[in-house]
Amino acid sequence: MLTVETDPGSGFCGGVIRAVSRAEEYMAAHDHLYSLGAIVHNEKELERLRSRGLRTISTLDEAPEGETVLIRAHGEPPRTYEEASSRQLKLIDCTCPVVLQLQKSIREAYARVGGAGRVIIFGRVGHAEVLGLLGQAGGDALVVEDLPMLEEAISKGYLDLSKPMEIFSQTTKSPTGYKAICDYLLSRGAHLTVHDTICAQVSGRHSHLEQFARSHDIIIFVAGESSSNGKVLFDLCRGVNPRAVRIGSAGELRREWFRDGDRVGVCGATSTPKWLLEEVAKGISAFGGESLS
C-alpha cells in the first residue's frame, strides 16, 4: 500500500496569491481582464483563470486604449508604466512587495556606482522579474545565471574586478547558487557589496523541501514547464532523492513509478496551486494507498 503526503509548505508564494486573488476579484465584477504576461508560470492554473476571463498579452499594444491591465508579481521596468499612461490604460499593479523593494535597491545602487562600477544581477536571462530589475538600471547591469557565465564575463572584459560592484539576486533563485557566485567574486579580490535579496519565504522552502525529499521514498514534484523556481526546487529535491519525478498534472502519473509500501511525497513550486497538488495526491492514492494530508 502507498501512503501519500502533500507538503504543507508548497503552493503559491504570497506574491502570487495576491496577484491571483486581485485578478479573481476584478473578474467577478467584469467579463475580462488583461494580464501583461502570464500571471503565474503554471499552465493548469492559467487554464482555470482563462475560463474566468483572464486574457494574457505579451505587450501593452494588445490591450485596447482605456482597458484595465494587471501587472503581475514579477514586476515591470519603468517604461511599462510610461507606456500605460500614454495609452490611458488603467493598471492593477500586483508587483510583489519583495520585488518592489529589490527594484528600489537596484535603482539606488546604480545611482551610487554608475559608470564607475557595475551592478550585477544573479538571475535567469530573459526572466520577467529580471527584465524589470534591469529596467531600474536603464538596462546597464550584468545578468549572470551561473559560475561559467560569470567567468566568461570576466574573461571577455565585461566585468572589471578592480572596480566597485554591487550584486543582487532574483528573488526566487537558489541561496546556494547565489552564495557560490558571491564567494567566487570575493575570492578573486572583487570590491563587492553583497545584497541579501532572495525572498525569505522562498529561501525557507529550500531547507524544508530538502528534508521533505529525504523523508520520502519517492517525490512527485509538480510545476509548470516555464517555472524558473520549479527548476531550482526540483533540482534540489532530486539532489537528495534520486526517485524525484517532475510532472505538470495528475494526467502524467504512471503506476510503474511506485513500489508497494512507498511513502510518497507530493510538493511543488511557488507557482503551483494547492488545488493541483491535491489533485495529484488523489491520483496517486487511486493507484492503491492512503493520504496522510
CA distances from 12 to 21, 45, 183 (A): 11, 11, 31
Question: Using alpha carbons only, how large is the chain's radius of gyration in Å?
Answer: 21
Catalytic site positions? 129
Residue 289, CA atoms < 13 Å, CB-side half-sphere: 24
Please give the DSSP secondary-structure letter assigned to residue 197: -
Q: What phi and psi, each to the nearest 5 degrees, are found at residue 196?
A: -85, 95
Cα–Cα distance, 176 to 205 (Å, whole number): 13
Residue 193 pairs in a beta bridge with 166
Cα–Cα distance, 213 to 88 (Å, whole number): 49
Please name the amino acid found at residue 29.
A
CA distances from 272 to 13, 134, 234, 263 (A): 9, 26, 12, 22
CA 206 to chain centre: 13
Beta carbons of 233 and 204 less than 8 angstroms apart: no
